[in-house]
Amino acid sequence: MADNRLRYGVHNLTDPQLKDLRAAYAGQQAISDNRGYQYLAGLHGVPGFWCWHHQGNARTAKHRQLFLPWHRAYLYHFEMGLRDRVGTTTLPWWDWTLRPPRQKGLPDAFAVAKVNGQPNPLASFKVNLPTTNPPVIGTTTRQPGDPSELPTQADVDETISRGDWVDFGMALEQLHDSVHGWVGGYMGQVPVAAFDPVFWAHHCMIDRIWWLWQVKNGNANIPADLLDVPLAPFNMKVRDVLNVNDLGYDYAAGGAKIAAGGVS
Amino acid sequence: MARAANTPRRRYDPPKRGGVGKIYTSGKVDISFAGPEHRTYRVDLMIDGIEHGGPSYRGFVFLNNPKATDKTPRDLENGYAGVFDIFAHGGCMGDPGHCEVNETKREVYDFRNPNPLTPARKRVTVTATIREIAKKAKTATVTIVPVITAVNSLCETDDVFKCEELSFVAYN
């Protein structure tokens, strides 16, 4: 939709788009108050512990299956924060199904340690939580696995083919869990995963797959009693995040601006 | 955040990959429901009540191969049936009591969110492998090889895979 901001694949970002993204991340990371990167990343695990995982079971009754809606609300708030820094940027998605030569494991944009002699804000983040138990003070780490172990397009297609909401949600959460483990390091543990800058691109891919499933299946088989469950600490309920267009965004593979005046 | 006086001082070290946890093997389970005389189109291994407070790991599932290890080829010939991943908490990151789930103590009017460590459920679709085994046998064992993807000094590495119940569910 033309009026919506578009989230592109990391592998298709143009140089200006990547520059904007890096500037937005760097701006976020430089802020220490509740608009900043550390505060937002800290909502997921330590110290906030608001995230939802592994709840597709009878023990949690009405609170089941909030993994996808909660993370959509979370990404929305993070993206808004990025756009407060650089208004033209959007969250990109990391398509971990891509194989060489297009991509080998982590996207270069998030892997290179330095850009133009400066630390790459997409590669790591310095966490400073001195009052948690234990204190978490240090730079995020990764320990990627063999790229051939990442989920394939066939895995994604099989997941999307599952028409039942719970069945689909559990299958997608499995792909999600496997990529967290594949990246390793901070990404491998719930309490600290969101401090790694690639967390957001990974979850953007998960959100995109959910949206692809929704385009195909609609929302009719999402349990009605789930719709008014709040997605704390965000000012949203499940029903508020069902349509990404209502949140002002959509997904595209890539894109580039064309000067209206032409060249001749 | 004030720390209780009796809370031991701990340190957080970055998570690393960490070898293989204790391998689980079940007793023999009747799998006649997956035999060629049945119209089963899908069989899931349901794993309920999985603890996820410790290391993160990949749980490789083998049927009728109790000697499977992390080195065993993951193919039909060796009974490989699929994998599940546990994205876990990596030990307690709070003061004493922070990771106690306390499900049974909740009041009716307790609207707080459940503890994030409420045990998990995973399902692994094992259709091709169980069908193959069911052509020749009426029973199968389930072996789970947990290969640790993220662990640090806050969590134990021995008894990594812990669950309350496993079951097969067949659909036709």
Q: What are the pLDDT digits (tens) for A172-207?
A: 999 999 999 999 999 999 999 999 999 999 999 999
What's the mean pLDDT in A68-84? Answer: 98
Mutate to test the interface with B, among A133, A192, A228 (most CBs of B within 10 A): A133
pLDDT at residue B8 is higher than 80: no
Shortest Cα distance, chain B CAs vs residue A99, angstroms: 21
Residue A262 pLDDT: 82
Q: How confident is the model at residue A1 (pLDDT cuts 50, 70, 90)?
A: very low
Contact assignment for B103 to A59 by CB distance below 8 Å: yes
Contact assignment for A181 to B85 by CB distance below 8 Å: yes
pLDDT at residue B100 is higher than 90: no
User: B76: helix, coil or strand?
Assistant: helix
Give one DSSP letter per residue of A65-113, joined into a string.
Answer: T-HHHHHHHHHHHHHHHHHHH-TT----B--TT--TTT--SS-HHHH-S
A30 close to A82: Cβ distance less than 8 angstroms: no
Query: Which residues neighbour B170 within 8 Å (Cβ) at sequence distance 6 or greater?
Result: B33, B34, B38, B40, B42, B43
Q: Does B8 touch chain A (CB under 8 A)?
A: no
Shortest Cα distance, chain A CAs vs residue B96, angstroms: 10
pLDDT at residue A62 is higher than 70: no
User: How many residues appear in chain A?
Assistant: 264
**Closest C-alpha among A152, A94, A103, A87 to residue A122:** A94
pTM of the model: 0.94
Query: Which residues neighbour A87 within 8 Å (Cβ) at sequence distance 6 or greater?
Result: none
Contact assignment for B3 to A133 by CB distance below 8 Å: yes
User: B69: helix, coil or strand?
Assistant: coil
B125 close to B82: Cβ distance less than 8 angstroms: yes
A12-21, A69-78, B46-55, B93-102: segment of lowest average pLDDT: B93-102
CA–CA gap between residue B168 and residue B44 (Å, rounded): 6
ipTM, two decimals? 0.92
Q: Closest partner residue to A189 among B89, B103, B123, by Cβ? A: B89
- Retrieve residue B40's tokens: 């089963």
Q: Does B96 touch chain A (CB under 8 A)?
A: no
Contact assignment for A189 to B9 by CB distance below 8 Å: no
Contact assignment for A136 to B103 by CB distance below 8 Å: no
A233 close to A43: Cβ distance less than 8 angstroms: yes
**Closest C-alpha among A113, A192, A185 to residue A145:** A185
Name residue, tokens 């990151």: B93
Query: Which residues neighbour B143 within 8 Å (Cβ) at sequence distance 6 or greater?
Result: B23, B24, B25, B26, B61, B62, B63, B65, B66, B68, B79
Residue A101 pLDDT: 83
Q: What mean pLDDT value characterizes chain A? A: 93
Mutate to test the interface with B, among A59, A64, A139 (most CBs of B within 10 A): A59
What's the mean pLDDT in A34-45? Answer: 97
What's the mean pLDDT in B157-166? Answer: 92
Helix A165-183 vs helix A153-160: crossing angle, to nearest 10: 160
Residue A252 pLDDT: 92
CA–CA gap between residue B81 and residue B73 (Å, rounded): 11
- Retrieve residue A186's tokens: 């901070």
CA–CA gap between residue A239 and residue A251 (Å, rounded): 20
What's the mean pLDDT in B72-101? Answer: 93
To the nearest whole percent, how much of chain B has pLDDT over 70? 93
What residues of chain B, 18 to 47, have a C-beta less than 8 Å from chain A? none
What residue spans of chain A are helical by DSSP H?
15-29, 37-44, 67-85, 108-111, 153-160, 165-183, 198-217
pLDDT at residue B65 is higher than 80: yes
